[in-house]
Structure 1
Amino acid sequence: MLEQILCVDDDPITLMLCKKVIVKASFSKEIITSQNGEEALQYFNTLKYANTEHPTKKHPQLIFLDLNMPVMGGWEFLDHFNSLEFSEFKNIKVIVLSSTIDPEDIEKSKTYPMVIDFLSKPITSTMLEYLKNKL
């Protein structure tokens, strides 16, 4: 079981479903949510400053990331998250969860070292079992 995961999606129903499936599958002890990439980056910025004061502060081990969101989408988030500014979080794995399975998107996701898979929404317990084995 993971300590903490972050779900980034603009749809509150998707986030609720994500939480329910993750809790039911005992996949993670704690689930944090953000409604877009910018909100997720702000969360990591607060962690960076918290870690200077409290080095033991935990951070997510896994991110479930939607691609199409207002304000800041998944690709923009990945571009920022892959930069030196967020290098202390480079061990966090990302699963792209998208409602579109465009082959170009799948190929593009492979260019980001932290993305370990590209899966179709909605999240299911079968998917989480698959990920438990992969992680």
Structure 2
Amino acid sequence: MEFILIDDSVFDLLTEEKLLLKSGLTDTVKSFSSAQEAIKFLKEQTGAMPETVILLDLQMPEINGFEFTRHFAEMSEEMRKRIRIYMISSTVDSMDIEEARDNPYIIELLSKPLEIPVLRSLLGE
């Protein structure tokens, strides 16, 4: 299983990547500091996409996590069914939490900092 990290915080990207690699959940992590870069990467994938988990930050400049899922919705069904999206945020805004809960592409809203035991449980590992 591959992981894609999308977060405008370089610190969070580095921390989450190290946690994921040390956890044994994966040996492949791709990091993007903007949602636009990640969207471009996904659209360029031509072959079968491996099983992938995206950890998506909510609050980012230009394209936030919710806007990313609107772009994701336009991708092929074949790609979407191989990708699971978990939003990760430090938000306490009830509107953000409700929107994440209602979004059909977001499996779960995880709190920052990333807790590997919680993620492992959600992934059934």
TM (normalized to structure 1)? 0.82
**Percent of pairs with identical residues:** 28
1:22-73 CA distance string (max 9 Å, x none): 11111112000111211110011111xxx2xxx34x4451100001111211
Q: Which residue of 2 aligns with 1:95?
A: 86
Contact 1:18 1:123 in 2 (8 A): yes
In angstroms, what is the RMSD of aligned CA positions? 1.7
- Counterpart of 1:37 in structure 2: which amino acid? A
* Structure 1 unpaired stretches of 5+: none
- Counterpart of 2:71 in structure 1: which amino acid? H
Helix, strand or coil at the partner of 1:110: helix
Q: Which residue of 2 aligns with 1:36?
A: 34
Between the two proteins, the alignment pairs up a number of residues equal to 124
Helix, strand or coil at the partner of 2:62: coil
1:65-111 CA distance string (max 9 Å, x none): 0011112111111111112x343322111101001132221221133
Q: Any residues of structure 2 matched to 1:32-71 within 5 Å, and which?
A: 32-47=30-45, 51=46, 55-56=47-48, 58-59=49-50, 61-71=52-62
* Structure 2 unpaired stretches of 5+: none
Q: Hey, what's the Cα distance between the residues in 1 that align with 2:35 and 2:79?
A: 15
Bigger Rg, which one: 1
